[in-house]
Amino acid sequence: MTIEAERRNLIKPIAATAPAPAPSSAREAAQLLLDRLWRIGTNFLGCERAILGGAMTWVSERNLVAAISNGGGFGVIACGAMSPELLDAEIAATAARTTRPFGVNLITMHPDLMALIEVCVRRKVGHIVLAGGLPTAAAVTRIKDSGAKLICFAPALAIARKLVRMGADAIVIEGMEAGGHIGPVSTSVLAQEILPQLRTVPVFVAGGIGRGEAIASYLEMGAAGVQLGTRFVCARESVAHARFKQAFLRAGARDAVPSVQLDQRFPVIPVRAIANDGSHAFAELQRAVIDRFNRGELSREDAQLEIEHFWAGALRRAVIEGDIESGSLMAGQSVGFVTREQSTREILDELVDEAVAALSTRARIALAEPPPLDDTDK
C-alpha cells in the first residue's frame, strides 16, 4: 500500500456511518488520535510509539537501545567508529536484551561501511540509518537488496527528494537545535519546508524535542514520528558516566551551543555541545593555528588538519571517562528538559502523556458547544 493510501485509510473510520464506540473522554479520544497520527510511523518501525532513540556515539549501546525498544520506542545502535567485529557483538548483545525491533546507525564516511552493512544484513537488522552525508548507490543497493528498511537524514527538501529517488524508505529531518553535528536550519523551519511537500515516505522530525507537546505538533503537521537524543542521555539505562549525566542535569538550553569557527578559510563542522573548557580551548587553538598560518609557518592543509584533530576522541573521554572539562559534551537545546535521572520507560511514558494531554486540550476545544448568542447585541 502506498503511504497516501495508508493516510486515507487512517481517516476512513472517522467518516464511517457505523463508527467504533465513541471515546468516553477527551483523554481517550486524544490517545486514539495519537495512535492514529503516528500509525504510519509505528507500522514502519514495528513498535508501539513512533519515537526513535537517536543514535548517540558511545551512549546508544546495547543497554539504552534495548531499553528504548522495550519501552515501546525504537532504539538505534550508534556504530560510530566501531569495527565490523565490535558492531557484530553489539547487535548480538542488544538482541539478547530485547525481542523488539531496533535499528543500527552507520556513518557514510566510515572506511568499512560496506563491511558494516554486511554485519547488519547477517544479523538481520530490520532498519539501517545512514548518517553523515549522501550514501553511495552501492550502499543503498546492498541495504535494499537485503530487505532492510533504509532511513536517511535530509537537511533540505531537494536532498530529501533525491534520497527517496535513490531508495530511502524514510527520512529524518534534524534541525540545528539538536545535539551533535548540526546543519544551519531550525527544526520548525525544516518541518514547514519538508512535511507538507514530502508525502511519499514516512518523515521523522528530530532536534530540540524535549516534551510531548512538541511531538503532538509535529505529528499534526504530517510527521510519522520523532527522533530524540538528548532526552535519553540521563536515562537510568544509559551507560554515560555519572559526571557526563551531571553536566546534562545542570545545563539549560542556552548552555548547549554550536562550536565556533573563527575564520572562514578554515571551516569547522558545527557541533552543538554544552560549553566547557574544551570549547574555549578550541577557539584558542584556532586562533593560534591561524596566526601560524598567517606567518607562513603552516600550510593550509596542516592548519585545517590541526583544527579538525582537536576533538578526536573527545566524546569518548566525556561519555565514558567522565572528563567533562575538556571532553565533548554533545547536547541539544532540549538539555534544559533533562532534570533528573529516570528510567527509559518513564521518559517515554512522560512524553506520551504530554502528547496525549496536548491533544486532549485540542479535543476538548473541538467538542465544546459554541457559546450561546448574546441577545443584547440584537
Ligand X SMILES: Cc1cc2nc3c(=O)[nH]c(=O)nc-3n(C[C@H](O)[C@H](O)[C@H](O)COP(=O)(O)O)c2cc1C
Q: Does 119 participate in binding ligand X (rule CB under 6 A)?
A: no
Q: Minimum CB separation from ligand X for residue 371, in Å?
A: 40
Q: Footprint of ligand X on residues 52-111 (CB under 6 A)?
A: 54-57, 59, 78, 80, 105
Instruction: With residue 296 as reference, give the H or E element that holds it.
Output: none
Question: For the CA atoms of 32, 50, 228, 341, what is the dihedral angle to 10 degrees?
Answer: 70
Q: Which residue is nearest to ligand X (CB)?
A: 229
Q: Output 29 or 150, the one with its CB closest to ligand X.
A: 150
CB of 233 to ligand X, least distance (A): 6
CB of 203 to ligand X, least distance (A): 14
How many residues bind ligand X, per CB under 6 A? 27
Which residue's CB is nearer to ligand X, number 54 or number 202?
A: 54
CB of 90 to ligand X, least distance (A): 13
Which positions from 5 to 44 touch ligand X by CB under 6 A, shown as an x/- string? ----------------------------------------
**CA–CA separation, 185 vs 196, rounded Å?**
17
Whether the CB-CB separation of 53 and 65 falls below 8 Å is answered with: yes
Q: Is residue 172 a contact partner of residue 163, using CB atoms and an 8 Å limit?
A: no
From CA 209, how far away is CA 271, in angstroms rounded?
17
Question: Do residues 225 and 47 make contact, with C-beta atoms less than 8 angstroms apart?
Answer: no
Alpha-carbon gap, residue 304 to 293, rounded angstroms: 10
Residues 165-194 touching ligand X, rule: CB under 6 A, are 174, 177-180
Taking the least distance from each CB to ligand X, the nearer of 179 and 202 is: 179
Would you say 64 or 201 has its CB closer to ligand X? 64
The answer to whether the CB of 244 falls within 8 A of the CB of 318 is: yes
C-beta of 124: minimal distance to ligand X in Å? 22
| Candidate ranges 93-101, 135-143, 285-293, 329-337; the one touching ligand X (CB under 6 A) | 329-337
Per CB under 6 A, contacts with ligand X among 205-234 are 206-209, 227-231
CA–CA dist 102, 46 (Å, integer) = 9
Q: Are 73 and 55 in contact (CB under 8 A)?
A: no
Q: Which three cell numbers stand for residue 17?
A: 456511518
Residue with Cβ nearer ligand X (84 or 332)? 332
Least CB distance to ligand X at residue 111 (A): 16
Q: Binding ligand X by CB under 6 A: which of 94, 259, 286, 334?
A: 334
Site string for ligand X, 343-372 (x = CB under 6 A): ------------------------------
Q: Cell 524535549 appears where?
A: 210
For position 135 contacting ligand X by CB under 6 A, the verdict is no
Give yes or no for a contact between 103 and 126, defined as CB atoms under 8 angstroms apart. yes
Exposure string (b/e) for 299-316, b if CB count within 10 Å is 16 or more? Answer: eeeebbebbeebbeebbb
Indicate the burial class of 290 (C-beta count within 10 angstroms; 0-12, 13-18, 19 or more).
Answer: middle
Q: Kindly tell me which of 56 and 154 has the beta carbon lying closer to ligand X.
A: 56
278 is a contact residue toward ligand X (CB under 6 A): no
The interface region with ligand X, picked from 30-38, 112-120, 326-334, 370-378 by CB under 6 A, is 326-334
> Which residue type is seen at 213?
E
In terms of Cα–Cα distance, which of 247, 230, 235 is closest to 327?
247
Residue 87 to residue 95: CA distance in whole angstroms? 12
Judge contact between 321 and 237, C-beta under 8 A: no
Q: List residues near ligand X by CB under 6 A.
A: 54-57, 59, 78, 80, 105, 131, 174, 177-180, 206-209, 227-231, 330-332, 334
